[in-house]
């Protein structure tokens, strides 16, 4: 279908206004009630069939084309983060301690902009377009909640596409890659049970701090010595809690950690071997332990055929020089729960327009170059106009 350039000025202005409104009114995961209501009202005004409350606060807007074609889903996540915003801009967060520090405000605004353009070209559509506004991407698995609430079956979704604004790339660049893109992200929770006592009499105690220290050092042997060096993996212990005072050996230490990988076999090996190391150091010291390995987000893996097709579409829509091969990211993305079930492609849209918009995601000064929004609107609209008939 023909390229969309140039986008109507009223749509771009509207997308920026929505983005700034959401930035001022951020909501945490599964609490996106104002955001979801805004989305639902907008979609209804554009004559979409709207379903609310999917996976707690998720919203789906459906429109059907006049010709046969696949049912495709375009997804935007809606949640903000528990961070106190430090940007000195007129549209800064008005909610203390909460801000859109990952760009999800832009994701919602772009998909609503695309919703407007799709509605205006409804007569040209094939297949069925499902606009999915997802809650709780940040660590709480809103995508999983929507899947478990039957999102994919309810609407018969056959293909899924999603994007993330990325301050790692210059404004307006589209980045994507075939296969593993974002890492899997799991959590470990450990309690080491020793036997408390006087700091001057370690031989009468089982020191859980010593055992925790031995574990923290030893666990890195898994990535260094037991996992294929060509298969990226990370084990990070992010929290250690034990003890109260200089001269007392406590009875217990607790540790929290995160585990990342790009391969299901590596992920499974990490889960098993972390416990093996823990068991070893505890046994050698006479301590006991509890170990919880919490599987959170799977690897986000892009379908090869879909990705090749989206790359070609992006090149046609925004120009081949603006489409790049994205590197793998050790971050995680719960779009993976959709990509596990239907052929899917997730892509990045660069939003770094200079120093003010170059802060990393989740930084208190994170902000986007709003000129990037046009690229996302353009991509999502092009997917809606083309994917139902043309995508593999
Ligand atoms: Ni994000």
333 Cα to the center of ligand 1, angstroms: 7
- Quick one: pLDDT at residue 5? 66
Mean pLDDT of all residues in 134-139 = 96
If one counts every other C-beta atom within 10 angstroms of the C-beta of residue 169, the result is 19
Q: Which residues of 76-94 are buried (b: 16+ CB within 10 A; e: fewer)?
A: bbbbbbebebebeeebebe
- Quick one: pLDDT at residue 123? 95
**174 and 225 together in one domain:** no
Q: What confidence tier does 249 reach under pLDDT thresholds 50, 70, 90?
A: very high
Closest Cα to residue 332, out of 351, 352, 346? Answer: 346
Q: What confidence tier does 380 reach under pLDDT thresholds 50, 70, 90?
A: very high
209 Cα to the center of ligand 1, angstroms: 36
- Quick one: pLDDT at residue 6? 80
Q: What confidence tier does 3 reach under pLDDT thresholds 50, 70, 90?
A: low
77 Cα to the center of ligand 1, angstroms: 8
- Quick one: pLDDT at residue 359? 97
The CATH number of residue 194's host domain is 3.30.70.360
**53 and 163 together in one domain:** yes
Catalytic residue among 32, 297, 333, 347: 297
392 Cα to the center of ligand 1, angstroms: 27
SS3 150: coil
Distance CA 70, CA 126 (A): 8
**59 and 196 together in one domain:** no
The CATH number of residue 338's host domain is 3.40.630.10
182 Cα to the center of ligand 1, angstroms: 11
Residues spanned by the domain of 217: 184-297
Residue 205 belongs to a domain: yes
Q: Tens digits of per-residue pLDDT, 138-153?
A: 989 999 999 999 999 9
Please say if 297 is a catalytic residue.
yes
Please say if 193 is a catalytic residue.
no
What is the residue whose two structure tokens read 């391969």?
Answer: 263
Residue 38 belongs to a domain: yes
Contact 116, 11 (CB under 8 A): yes
Alpha helices for the chain (secondary structure H) = 9-24, 33-45, 104-120, 142-148, 151-155, 208-218, 220-221, 264-285, 304-318, 336-339, 372-390
- The angle subtended at Cα 302 by Cα 301 and Cα 304, nearest 5°, is 125
3 exposure class (CB count in 10 Å sphere: 0-12, 13-18, 19+): exposed
Q: Is the pLDDT of residue 283 over 60?
A: yes
20 Cα to the center of ligand 1, angstroms: 17
CA-based torsion, 87, 93, 98, 103: positive or negative: negative
CA-based torsion, 163, 164, 167, 169: positive or negative: negative
Residue 132 belongs to a domain: yes
């Amino acid at each position: 279908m023909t390229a969309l350039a140039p986008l109507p000025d009223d749509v771009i202005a509207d997308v920026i206004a929505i983005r700034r409104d959401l930035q001022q009114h951020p909501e945490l995961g599964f609490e996106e009630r104002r955001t979801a209501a805004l989305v639902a009202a907008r979609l209804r005004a554009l004559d979409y069939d709207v379903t609310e409350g999917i996976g707690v606060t998720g919203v789906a807007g459906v429109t059907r084309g006049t010709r046969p074609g696949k049912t495709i889903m375009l997804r935007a996540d809606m949640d903000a983060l528990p961070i106190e915003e430090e940007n000195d801009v007129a549209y800064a967060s008005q909610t203390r301690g909460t801000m859109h520090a990952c760009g999800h405000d832009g994701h919602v605004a772009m998909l609503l902009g695309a919703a407007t353009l799709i509605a205006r070209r409804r007569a040209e559509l094939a297949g069925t377009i499902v606009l999915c506004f997802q809650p709780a991407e940040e660590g709480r698995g809103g995508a999983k909640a929507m899947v478990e609430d039957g999102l994919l079956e309810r609407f018969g979704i056959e293909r899924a596409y999603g994007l993330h604004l990325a301050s790692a790339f210059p404004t307006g660049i589209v980045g994507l890659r075939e296969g593993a893109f974002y890492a899997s992200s799991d959590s470990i929770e450990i309690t080491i049970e020793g036997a408390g006592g006087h700091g001057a009499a370690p031989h009468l105690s089982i020191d859980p701090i010593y055992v925790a220290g031995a574990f923290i050092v030893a666990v890195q042997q898994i990535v260094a010595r037991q996992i294929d060096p060509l298969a990226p993996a990370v084990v990070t212990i992010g929290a250690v809690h034990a003890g109260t005072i200089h001269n007392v050996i406590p009875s217990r230490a607790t540790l929290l950690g995160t585990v990342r990988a790009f391969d299901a076999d590596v992920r499974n090996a990490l889960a098993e071997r972390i416990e093996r190391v823990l068991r070893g150091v505890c046994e050698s010291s006479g301590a006991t332990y509890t170990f919880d390995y919490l599987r959170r987000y799977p690897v986000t893996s892009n379908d090869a055929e879909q990705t090749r097709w989206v790359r070609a579409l992006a090149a046609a829509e925004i120009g081949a020089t603006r489409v790049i091969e994205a590197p793998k990211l050790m971050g995680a993305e719960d779009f993976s729960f959709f990509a596990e079930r239907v052929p899917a492609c997730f892509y990045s849209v660069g939003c770094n327009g200079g120093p003010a918009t170059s802060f990393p995601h989740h930084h208190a000064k994170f902000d986007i170059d709003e000129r990037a929004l046009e690229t996302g609107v353009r991509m999502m609209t092009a997917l809606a106009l083309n994917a139902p008939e043309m995508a593999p």
